[in-house]
């Protein structure tokens, strides 16, 4: 066995045990489901506690500001190892749940493409999107469709990532305000990943957490088929950047920050090597685990109903078929790699709270 796959990095970075107290702010439509799968797998493998939604809930109070009471099994003076489900960030309440030495990180995506994905995914939920015939039409006249007073229903329609960090998505774009909020994120979050550079981001995350290579290898989870992705004209992209200007400032800043950190800590040559090792291991696992060369499948083509992803709005969410004939141990490893987030959350909930009723995942007929 290649020991690098199962042992943490050591050369050129701080030594020590793997980091196990982690808070991931899971932003929306940013490849965050793939990161969630990484954290769920690490928690299950290492028998760590996860701050899961209480009762039958699927999110930690979202879109309301997070409160500690939204966590199942939360008691005074009790802490969890990992927190990674959707929530709206509220630091004082998060600190009630997580230990003082927690590593905080999040992920951002180009707001143009994040908004396009949100429009498709939340088309039948957000009132602003429901009334708009297309994203082009919405961005040509957003105030025709978007109402500030319906904020909690329309959180996906304007500066959604800014909102997830706990800020006001309708705030005026005053320079002093924007800089203060970005500085606030920088003080609390030790790392912000960028979806467009996910592999490079995961290389840096692995270094910061002192994890093994296999801990951060992942397949894309909750991705859409090409036919449900809208190609945007240059004018539409420009309008999206203007409409989501607060998200754009956040993204621009942390995109620069990520690349500054990568070059300072690794340098271009070593970074290329680390990224290629990550991708090579992903290809190996795809060959081992997945049918048809690892090509994602439409949910109607997925044989195992437990591995079918939730479908939302007009999105065609893809999943995977496992290779037949896998031995039991290999199958368990491969199932974890492809398990959709709602099913994985329900699995961890059952393991962590065996005395409580199972999470009901309605679209599975559970």
In a domain, 358, yes or no: no
Kindly indicate the confidence band of residue 356, based on its pLDDT and cuts at 50, 70 and 90: very high
CA distance 107 to 52: 20
Ramachandran category for residue 350: left, alpha or beta (phi over 0 → left; psi -120 to 50 → alpha): alpha
In a domain, 187, yes or no: yes
Other Cβ atoms less than 10 A from the Cβ of 285: the count is 19
Each residue's pLDDT tens digit, 300-322: 999 999 999 999 988 999 999 99
Residue 11 has pLDDT above 60, yes or no: no
CATH number for the domain including 117?
3.40.50
In a domain, 315, yes or no: yes
Domain that holds residue 220: 22-352
Q: What is the mean pLDDT of residues 336-349?
A: 97
Residue 12 has pLDDT above 60, yes or no: no
In a domain, 310, yes or no: yes
Kindly indicate the confidence band of residue 196, based on its pLDDT and cuts at 50, 70 and 90: very high
In a domain, 236, yes or no: yes
Q: How far is CA 186 from the centre of its chain?
A: 19
In a domain, 3, yes or no: no
8 A C-beta contact, residue 19 and residue 80: no
Number of structural domains in the chain: 1
**366 or 312, which is more confident:** 312
CA distance 151 to 145: 12
8 A C-beta contact, residue 302 and residue 320: yes
In a domain, 366, yes or no: no
In a domain, 325, yes or no: yes
Query: What does pTM read for this prediction?
Result: 0.95
The DSSP result for 181-226, as a single string, is: HHHHHHHH-SEEEEGGGHHHHHHHHHHHHT-BHHHH-----S-B-G
User: To which H or E segment does residue 297 belong?
Assistant: strand 297-298
Q: What is the mean pLDDT of residues 70-96?
A: 97
Share of the chain above pLDDT 90, in %: 89
């Amino acid at each position: 066995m290649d020991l690098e796959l199962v042992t943490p990095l050591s050369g050129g970075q701080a030594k020590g045990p793997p980091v196990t107290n982690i808070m991931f702010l899971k932003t929306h439509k940013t490849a965050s489901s793939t990161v969630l799968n990484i954290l769920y797998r690490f928690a299950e493998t290492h028998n760590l506690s996860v701050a899961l939604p209480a009762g039958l809930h699927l999110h930690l109070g979202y879109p309301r500001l997070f409160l500690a009471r939204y966590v199942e099994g939360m008691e005074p003076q009790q802490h969890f190892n990992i927190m990674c489900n959707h929530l709206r960030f509220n630091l004082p309440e998060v600190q009630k749940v997580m230990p003082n030495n927690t590593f905080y990180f999040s992920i951002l995506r180009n707001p143009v493409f994040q908004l396009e994905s949100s429009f498709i995914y939340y088309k039948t939920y957000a009132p602003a999107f429901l009334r708009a015939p297309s994203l082009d039409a919405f961005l040509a006249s957003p105030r025709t469709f978007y109402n500030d007073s319906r904020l909690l229903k329309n959180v996906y329609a304007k500066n959604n990532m800014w909102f997830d960090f706990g800020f006001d998505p309708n705030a005026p774009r005053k320079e002093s305000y924007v800089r203060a909020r970005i500085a606030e994120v920088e003080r609390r979050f030790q790392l912000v990943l960028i979806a467009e550079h996910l592999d490079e981001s995961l290389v840096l995350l692995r270094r910061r957490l002192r994890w093994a290579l296999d801990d951060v290898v992942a397949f894309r989870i909750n991705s859409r088929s090409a036919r449900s992705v809208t190609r945007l004209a240059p004018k539409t992209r420009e309008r999206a950047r203007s409409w989501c200007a607060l998200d754009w400032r956040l993204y621009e800043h942390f995109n620069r920050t990520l690349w500054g950190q990568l070059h300072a800590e690794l340098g271009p040559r070593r970074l290329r090597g680390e990224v290629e090792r990550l991708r090579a291991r992903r290809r190996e696992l795809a060959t081992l685990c997945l049918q048809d060369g690892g090509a994602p499948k439409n949910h109607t083509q997925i044989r195992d109903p437990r591995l079918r992803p939730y479908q939302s709005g007009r999105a065609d969410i893809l999943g995977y078929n496992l290779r037949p004939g896998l031995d039991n141990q290999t199958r368990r490893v491969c199932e974890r790699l492809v398990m959709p987030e709602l099913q994985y959350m329900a699995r961890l909930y059952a393991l962590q709270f065996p005395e409580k009723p199972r999470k009901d995942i309605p679209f599975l007929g559970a």
